[in-house]
Amino acid sequence: MNLAKFPRRIYTPYETPLQPLDKLTAVLGGGPRIWMKRDDMLGLAMGGNKTRKLEFLMADALAKGADTIITCGAVQSNHCRLTLAAAVTEGLKCHLVIEQRVPNSYNEHASGNNFLYHMLGVEGIHVVDGGSDMMAEMQKVADELTAQGRKPYIVPGGGSNVIGATGYAACAQEILNQCFKMGVSFDHMICTSGSTGTHAGLLVGLKGENANIPLTGIGINKPVPIQKPNVYKLAKALAEHLGVQTPITEDDVIVFDDYVGPGYSRVTEGMVEAVSLVAKTEGILLDPVYTGKTMAGMIDLYKKGYFDGCKNIMFLHTGGSPALFAYTDTFFAAEEK
């Protein structure tokens, strides 16, 4: 893949670390060696996977002459925080449309990412009910701004269109290049499967490089019959956008929904245990909404022998730890049990 032909801003002037988690591997019984790709250490305010997508999305916004970015997310959205941070970096204004996926969950003075929306100088926050047509809600804000003579640019939820997902095809190249330099080869990769840009981007990147490494996505929101075709749809469009010739089938999309629990952003016991375990064994902070549930899934699959026969497996840490500060009561309660 020649990704250099796509306009891009650089928000992380280095490769994120790729490190073995030997203490965690030992705690889990010493099977396949677990590695972690530290995309929680990407650039922009407190990092996370959206930074890679925004490198391409912001380049597109600037090329189109935008002066204001509009995006959407949940009440504790890492994507909203990072899109806002990217806008500030570029000297642009930013509006956020916040979806209350859990009824009455929006609190203007909440901690975590919500606090950072204000710290980073958001121009407008528009709160809408769960299940709203988010594209239509963002278009309303765009129309108001256009009427005032502004030039708005809409970044879709999670930055998950072909432009944003290009960031994760680039991540696949970065990982394979690091593997080559370090003399390590992965037999399996694990990532979170949310708005699909990360899962589809990584899948297409691995295909485009003919890596032959299976990728398992752990769902944190939708059931498999919805998530799998969604990932496939974006992967197909992305392969076309990037000119990847290797065929990609729906069977290449591996996704589990067994670790979602009662719903998006809702606490599960497995999540609390996984976040605590990784913090206490490796000193690494996961997050309650995405990587905590993904790690709970990886640990369960590891114990069930899903990775048997592998020598090295890689977990993609997509960030999100600022949201931990909105869940302190949950973790204190678990420690006191």
Residues that bind ligand PLP (CB under 6 A): 48-49, 78-79, 158, 160, 192-199, 287, 290-291, 318-320
Residue for token digits 């197909």? 236
For residue 232, the minimal CB distance to ligand PLP (Å) is 14
Query: 77, 160, 193, 195: which one is catalytic?
Result: 77
The conformation of residue 123, written as its DSSP 8-state character, comes to: S
Rounded to a whole number of angstroms, the minimum distance from the CB of residue 237 to ligand PLP is 14
Q: Identify residue 23 by its one-letter amino acid code.
A: K
CB of 82 to ligand PLP, least distance (A): 8
Supply the minimum distance, in Å, between the C-beta of residue 199 and ligand PLP: 6
| Strands of the 93-100 sheet, one edge to the other | 124-129, 93-100, 68-74, 152-154
> Of 37 and 145, which CB lies nearer to ligand PLP in the complex structure?
37
The minimum distance between CB 128 and ligand PLP, in angstroms, equals 19
Nearer to ligand PLP, 145 or 168 (CB): 168
Edge-to-edge, what's the strand order for the sheet holding 215-219?
18-20, 33-38, 312-317, 188-193, 215-219, 254-256
Looking at 126-223, list the stretches that DSSP marks H as alpha helix, in order from N- to C-terminal side. Answer: 134-147, 162-182, 197-208
Closest CA to 309 of 31, 18, 82, 16: 31
Q: Distance from first CA to last CA of the chain, Å, rounded? A: 51
User: Closest CB to ligand PLP among 68 and 291?
Assistant: 291
Handedness of CA 215, 188, 182, 32 (dihedral sign): positive
Report how far residue 115's alpha carbon sits from residue 101's, in angstroms, rounded to the nearest whole number: 18
Question: Least CB distance from residue 45 to ligand PLP, whole Å?
Answer: 13
326: left (phi over 0), alpha (psi -120 to 50) or beta: alpha
Cβ 27 to ligand PLP, closest distance in Å? 23
77 flagged as catalytic: yes
Between 25 and 227, CB nearer to ligand PLP: 227
Closest residue to ligand PLP: CB criterion? 320
189 contact partners, CB below 8 Å, separation of at least 6 = 175, 202, 206, 213, 214, 215, 216, 313, 314, 315, 316
The SS3 call for residue 126 is: strand
Contact 24, 7 (CB under 8 A): no
Reference 303, options 27, 56, 67, 89; nearest CA is 27
Residue (192 or 216) nearer to ligand PLP, CB? 192
Distance from C-alpha of 43 to C-alpha of 273, rounded to nearest angstrom: 28
Give the bridge partners for 216, in sequence order. Answer: 190, 254
**CB-nearer residue toward ligand PLP: 68 or 193:** 193
Residue 221: strand, helix, or coil: coil
- Indicate the residue among 167 and 208 with the shorter CB distance to ligand PLP: 167
What residues act catalytically? Answer: 77
